[in-house]
A and B are shown apart, each in its own frame.
Chain A
Amino acid sequence: METVKLTINGMAVEVPAGTTVLNAAEQAGINIPRLCHEPDLSPLGACRLCVVEIEGMRNLPASCVTAVSPNMLVHTHSPAVVEARQTILELLLANHPQDCLTCEKMGNCKLASYCYEYGVKQSAFPGDRHNYPVEDSNPFIVRDMNKCILCGKCVRACAEITGKNNLDYAYRGFNSKVTTFYDVPFVESDCVFCGNCVSVCPTGALTEKRIQGKARHFEFTKVKTTCPFCGTGCNFDLNVKDGKVMAVTTGPDNAVNGRALCIKGRFGWDFIYSDRRLTTPLIKRGDGFVQASWDEALDLIATRLQGIKDKYGGDSFAALSSARCTNEENYLLQKFTKVVMGTNNVDHCART
C-alpha cells in the first residue's frame, strides 16, 4: 500500500495515501473537533470546525475533506485555527437556544462540549433567531429545529444508511432547514422511524421522545446485547437507569449493523414494560386464573406431567420451544423433553 509521510504538530506521521488529514491526526493521537463528520457517513466539510492550518495553503482547509499529501506541514491547534473555531462556534451560538439546563441533550451535546473546550460562553453576533414550533407528532422522535446546526448528518444517515432519503435541506440562507419533503411532520412523511438520524445528531435537535425529562445520557449504564426481533442479529446498547431500561443506543462498531437499527430494535423494546406483562405464575381455576407462587406452579406442573407420563407414556407429551428465546433456554427445554419426559416431541416454529 502506498503511504504518505507528513508532519502534524511537529510529529512525523505516515499514513496510507488517500487518508484525510483528520484521520491522519487521529491516528497520531490528535483529536480534531468535528460536528458534521462521522466515520460511517460520507464526508461533507460543512461545519468547518475541523479546519487546520497547512503551510503553503492560503485558507484554513477542512481536515475531514482534505487528503494528505507528501511532506505536508499541518497545525491542528495553531492560534489562527483556534480563533477560527471560536468564531465558528460563536456563529452557531448566535442562533442556538441556550436552554442547556433543561435540554435533553445536556451532557451529550457536541456543540456544548466544543464551546466548553474553546471557552465560548456566548455569541458576539446577536441577531435574528429561529422560532420553529417543536415537532413531536409521533411517539418516537422530538424535532426541535431551533437547535439544528445544519450539519446534515441526519440527511446523510437517512440517505446513506437507511436509504429512505426522507430528509434534506429546504429553503435558502437564514431560512435553511433540514426537513421532510414538503416540510411536513414526520408522521405525514415517508419516515420509517428507524431513529438512525437521532443516533447521529450532535445537538438537541433530534432526541428520543420516550426519555424527555426522565434521564440524561451520562446517567445510563450501557449493556451491549442482541436485538430480540428478526434474524439479522443487530447489536445495540440497552441504556439502564435505576434498574430500568430507558433507551436503546448504537455506535458505529456493531458487527452486523454498525449503528443502523429499525423501528423495532430502537423503539419497539418497550413491550418489556407493558402493563400486560405476566409477573407471577397463574393456575387455572374454573374459567379464570389465580395467582400462585413459583413453587406451587412448578410443583403442580411436575405432578401433572409425571402423572401423564406414567399413565400414557412419554410420547403423550410435546414441547414447543421458542425461536425468540436464547440458545441456553432452547437447549434446556429440549434436554428436559428428551431426558425427563423421554420423548423427542420437541419442535419450534423454524419452518413457519
Chain B
Amino acid sequence: MTNSIGEIDHAELLLLVGTNTTEAHPIVGYKMRQAARKGAKLIVVDPRRIELAEEADYWLRIQPGTDIPLLNGLMHIIIKENLQNSTFIEERTENYAALKETVEKYTPDYVSRLTGVPEENLYAVARLYATTDKAMTFYTLGITEHVCGTNNVMSVANLAMLTGHLGRPGTGVNPIRGQNNVQGACDMGALPNVFPGYQRVIDPTAREKFEKAWGASLSGDMGLMIPEMFDKAHAGDLKAMYILGENPVLTDPNSNHIRSGLDKLEFLVVQELFLTETAEYADVILPAASFAETDGTFTNTERRVQRVRKAIEPLPGLANWQAIMDLSTKMGYPMNYRNPEEIFAEMASLTPSYAGISYARLENSSIQWPCPTSNHPGTPFLHAQAFTRGKGLFQAIEHIPPAEMPDQEYPFLLSTGRILYHYNVTTPYSAAIQSMWSEEYAEVNPEDAARLGVDYGDQVKVYSRRGELLTKIQVTDRVPPGVIWMSFHYKDSPTNAITSDAIDPITKTGEYKVCAVKVEKI
C-alpha cells in the first residue's frame, strides 16, 4: 500500500475495486465501514453484492473482467469535464497525452455497454472521485487475478495520478496484500529476480554486494517464477524442489498440471505443518513450526514490520529457521545464527529500506519501511515528493477481455475468492472453525438455480475444460445471473482443479477470477 490503514479514518472517499474487504481483510473492512458511517463516500466496484456494496453510496456491478473499460471510462469523463488535477499531471507525471488519446474512445455509452454500469453512475462516480480531496483507492485480487492483472493495476494508478490522489495522507493506490507476510517474503528476496530489498540479481553491483556479504559466488540469471517451475518440471528440466509452507496443489490454478509436475520431480522436500495435498508428493517431509513456536517478524500490507514472538516450544523440536540452517551447514555452507534476531540484523544490514529497523526498536512498537537509519521514524505513506522512478508514467491501456468466456458448451462464468471463516489452507485444520464451515457452498443466482432445478444444499457437478468437481450450492443474488462463485478452501471441492490456467504475461498470475464452466444437477 502506498498509504496506511489508519488513514481510512480521515479519508473522504474510499474507492474499492475488486476487494471483498470485510471477508478477506476483516479489520480493514471494519474500518472502511466505520468511515462510511461517519460520512466518507464509499464506492464499491464488484460483480458480487459483497457486504460493503450494501453500504456503498455507489455500487458498480461490473461484468467480470471489465475493470479496464470502467477505469478508462471514468478517466474519459474526468478529462471531458476538465476535472483532472493539471498541476499534479504537469509536475509529477509524464505521458499524459497518450493516456488522453486512449481513453478518448471509452465514452460513457460504450463503457456502459461493456461493463453493465448505468451511464449516470459512471458520471456520478467520476465526478465524485475527481473532486474529492482525500480519496483512497483499494484493490486486491479482483484486480490482479486476470490475464490483464498488471494492466488493471496500472489503470488504477492512472486514475489516481490523473486526479492527484497520491503522495498525501488519505489518498493512494492501496493493494491490500493477501497473506500475513506476503509483503515481507517479497522484501526478503524470496523472488526469482531480486535479492533482499528488491536489489536486482542482474545488477552486477548488487550481485557483488551480496557475494561479498555471503562469501559465495552468485548467479546473475533471473530465476523461474512459480508457473515456470511447474512447466520446467513437466519438461524434465527441473529435478528437485524445496517447498516451505505452500500448498500449490490446492491454491495454484489448474491443479492437475501442478500434480503431474510434482510427480515428475526426482526429489521433493516439503516443510509443512500438515500432510497437505502437496506434501503427499514429497520424498522427505520436514515438520514445520507454527507462528506461535518461533521468534521473528512479519511485514504487513502497509509495510509495517512487527514482531512475532515465541509463545511455546516448537512442536516438531526445531523451528523452521533452525532446520534450514542445519541443512545449509550439512551442505558445506555453515550458518551459525543463534536466534532470529541475528538473521534479521544481517538482512537489515543488506537491505536499505530495513536498515534502521532492529528487534530493539520493534520491542514496543512497529515500524513502516522505508526506514533507512536507526533514528528514522518510518514511512506511513510513500511518494510524497517523487515516485520511485521519478515522474509517474501514465500507461495507455486498452481493454483485454478474459481468456475464457462462457460459451454454449460451458455457459457459466466461474469466479473465485475467499470467505470470512477460512484463510487458505490452515483454518481447515481449526477444529472449531471446521465444525461450523466444513464444506463449500457455491453461490448460484436464483434465476440459474430455478433453471437448473437446484435448491440450497443440493449438490452439483461443475465442469470446466480442465477438470470437474462436486460442490453443494447456496442460492443467492450476491452473484448475478450466469455467474457461479466458489471459494478455494476445501479439498473436497478443489476449485482450482477447474480454474483457468491463463496467466498474466508479466506476473504469471493465474486468471482465478474468470473461467467458463458448466453446472449439472446430480
Q: Is B450 an interface residue (CB 8 A)?
A: no
Q: Is B110 an interface residue (CB 8 A)?
A: no
Report B307 CB to chain A, min CB distance, Å: 7
Return the chain A residue nearest B189 by Cβ: A334
Interface residues as binary, B303-337 with A (CB distance below 8 Å gives 1, 0 otherwise): 01111111111011110110111111011110100
Q: Say whether B24 contacts A230, CB under 8 Å.
A: yes
Instruction: List which A171-220 residues lie within 8 A (CB) of chain B.
Output: 187, 192-194, 210
Bound: A314/B310 CA distance, A: 34
Q: Say whether B226 contacts A349, CB under 8 Å.
A: yes
* Pick from B185, B237, B266, B347: contact of A325, CB under 8 Å: B185
Return the chain A residue nearest B324 by Cβ: A332
Q: Is A338 an interface residue (CB 8 A)?
A: yes
Instruction: List which A119-160 residues lie within 8 A (CB) of chain B.
Output: 138-140, 160
Q: Say whether A244 contacts B312, CB under 8 Å.
A: yes
Return the chain A residue nearest B233 by Cβ: A318
Question: Which residues of A have CB within 8 Å of B221?
Answer: 315, 344
Bound: A139/B214 CA distance, A: 50
Question: Which residues of B have CB within 8 Å of A324?
Answer: 179-181, 245-246, 424, 426
Known A346-B191, A349-B226: A224·B252 in contact at CB below 8 Å: no
Q: Is B98 an interface residue (CB 8 A)?
A: no
Q: Say whether A325 contacts B27, CB under 8 Å.
A: no
Question: Which residues of A have CB within 8 Å of B214?
Answer: 335, 338-339
Q: Say whether A302 contacts B288, CB under 8 Å.
A: no
Of the candidates A160, A277, A305, A318, the one having the most CB atoms from chain B within 10 angstroms of its own CB is: A318
* Pick from A163, A234, A304, A338: contact of B33, CB under 8 Å: A163
* Pick from A187, A280, A318: contact of B224, CB under 8 Å: A318
Q: Say whether A329 contacts B324, CB under 8 Å.
A: yes
Instruction: List which B224-255 residues lie within 8 A (CB) of chain A.
Output: 224-226, 229, 232, 237-246, 248, 251-253
* Pick from B177, B316, B344, B420: contact of A327, CB under 8 Å: B344
Instruction: List which A231-258 residues lie within 8 A (CB) of chain B.
Output: 231-235, 238, 240, 243-245, 255-257
Q: Say whether A328 contacts B297, CB under 8 Å.
A: yes
Q: Is A91 an interface residue (CB 8 A)?
A: no
Interface residues as binary, A15-39 with B (CB distance below 8 Å gives 1, 0 otherwise): 0000000000000000000000000
Q: Is B423 an interface residue (CB 8 A)?
A: yes
Q: Is B387 an interface residue (CB 8 A)?
A: no
Return the chain B residue nearest A318 by Cβ: B229
Task: Please tell me which stretch of A58-66, A81-89, A102-110, A282-290 contacts chain B, meaning at least 4 of its Cβ atoms lie within 8 angstroms of it.
Answer: A282-290
Report A253 CB to chain B, min CB distance, Å: 11
Task: Please tell me which stretch of A6-14, A46-54, A68-76, A266-274 contacts chain B, meaning at least 4 of its Cβ atoms lie within 8 angstroms of it.
Answer: A266-274
Interface residues as binary, A280-310 with B (CB distance below 8 Å gives 1, 0 otherwise): 1111100001001010011111101110100
Report B314 CB to chain A, min CB distance, Å: 9
Q: Say whether B311 contacts A228, CB under 8 Å.
A: no
Q: Say whether B330 contacts A277, CB under 8 Å.
A: no
Q: Is B508 an interface residue (CB 8 A)?
A: yes
Q: Is A261 an interface residue (CB 8 A)?
A: yes
Task: Please tell me which stretch of B62-70, B73-81, B271-279 contacts chain A, meaning at least 4 of its Cβ atoms lie within 8 angstroms of it.
Answer: B271-279
Q: Say whether A267 contacts B25, CB under 8 Å.
A: no
Question: Which residues of A have CB within 8 Å of B282?
Answer: 282, 284
Return the chain B residue nearest A221 by Cβ: B311
Interface residues as binary, B211-224 with A (CB distance below 8 Å gives 1, 0 otherwise): 00010111101111
Report B258 CB to chain A, min CB distance, Å: 11
Q: Say whether A348 contacts B330, CB under 8 Å.
A: no
Q: Is B163 an interface residue (CB 8 A)?
A: no
Q: Is B507 an interface residue (CB 8 A)?
A: yes
Q: Say whether A336 contacts B328, CB under 8 Å.
A: yes
Q: Say whether A329 contacts B321, CB under 8 Å.
A: yes
Q: Say whether A226 contacts B180, CB under 8 Å.
A: yes
Bound: A277/B292 CA distance, A: 14
Bound: A282/B34 CA distance, A: 49
Bound: A147/B232 CA distance, A: 63
* Pick from A232, A261, A335, A344: contact of B193, CB under 8 Å: A344
Known A231-B179, A231-B301: A225·B219 in contact at CB below 8 Å: no
Bound: A330/B192 CA distance, A: 13
Report B303 CB to chain A, min CB distance, Å: 10
Question: Which residues of B have CB within 8 Å of A323?
Answer: 178-182, 184-185, 246
Question: Which residues of A have CB within 8 Å of B430?
Answer: 267-271, 274
Question: Which residues of B have CB within 8 Å of A300?
Answer: 284
Question: Which residues of B have CB within 8 Å of A347?
Answer: 190-192, 223-226, 229
Bound: A244/B327 CA distance, A: 29
Q: Is A260 an interface residue (CB 8 A)?
A: yes
Report B172 CB to chain A, min CB distance, Å: 16
* Pick from A280, A301, A334, A339: contact of B316, CB under 8 Å: A280
Instruction: List which B16-52 residues lie within 8 A (CB) of chain A.
Output: 22, 24-28, 30, 33-34, 37
Q: Say whether A238 contacts B292, CB under 8 Å.
A: yes
Bound: A294/B326 CA distance, A: 10
Q: Say whether B245 contacts A322, CB under 8 Å.
A: yes
Q: Is B183 an interface residue (CB 8 A)?
A: yes
Return the chain A residue nearest B512 by Cβ: A352
Q: Say whether A228 contacts B37, CB under 8 Å.
A: no
Q: Say whether B273 contacts A277, CB under 8 Å.
A: yes
Task: Please tell me which stretch of B114-122, B431-439, B452-460, B469-477 contacts chain A, meaning at least 4 of its Cβ atoms lie within 8 angstroms of it.
Answer: B431-439
Bound: A160/B33 CA distance, A: 9
Q: Is B421 an interface residue (CB 8 A)?
A: yes
Return the chain A residue nearest B196 by Cβ: A331
Q: Is A80 an interface residue (CB 8 A)?
A: no
Q: Is B427 an interface residue (CB 8 A)?
A: yes
Bound: A140/B179 CA distance, A: 24
Q: Say whether A280 contacts B287, CB under 8 Å.
A: yes
Q: Say whether A262 contacts B420, CB under 8 Å.
A: yes
Report A311 CB to chain B, min CB distance, Å: 8
Bound: A340/B415 CA distance, A: 41
Q: Say whether B37 contacts A263, CB under 8 Å.
A: no
Question: Which residues of B have CB within 8 Å of A101?
Answer: none
Q: Is B358 an interface residue (CB 8 A)?
A: no
Question: Which residues of A have CB within 8 Å of B507?
Answer: 351
Q: Is B302 an interface residue (CB 8 A)?
A: yes
* Pick from A139, A282, A326, A330: contact of B284, CB under 8 Å: A282
Q: Say whether B178 contacts A344, CB under 8 Å.
A: no
Question: Which residues of A have CB within 8 Å of B283?
Answer: 283-284, 304
Q: Is A118 an interface residue (CB 8 A)?
A: no
* Pick from A256, A308, A317, A328: contact of B296, CB under 8 Å: A328
Q: Say whether A352 contacts B180, CB under 8 Å.
A: no
Return the chain B residue nearest A289 by Cβ: B285
Return the chain B residue nearest A163 by Cβ: B33
Bound: A331/B246 CA distance, A: 16
Q: Is B449 an interface residue (CB 8 A)?
A: no
Bound: A272/B311 CA distance, A: 12
Bound: A300/B330 CA distance, A: 10
- Give 25 A-B contacts (CB < 8 Å), ordered by A residue: A139-B436, A192-B420, A226-B307, A229-B426, A230-B178, A231-B25, A232-B26, A238-B292, A240-B311, A245-B312, A262-B420, A268-B426, A276-B275, A279-B315, A282-B285, A294-B326, A300-B284, A305-B240, A317-B241, A318-B223, A318-B224, A323-B182, A328-B344, A339-B328, A346-B190
In addition to A230-B26, A268-B426, A318-B229, 20 A-B residue pairs with Cβ atoms within 8 Å of each other are A138-B436, A163-B22, A163-B37, A230-B178, A231-B181, A260-B30, A262-B27, A264-B421, A274-B429, A302-B327, A316-B240, A321-B244, A330-B190, A338-B201, A338-B219, A339-B333, A344-B219, A348-B182, A352-B145, A352-B251
Top 9 A-B pairs ranked by shortest CB distance? Answer: A233-B300, A326-B296, A344-B223, A322-B245, A262-B26, A321-B190, A323-B179, A231-B177, A323-B182
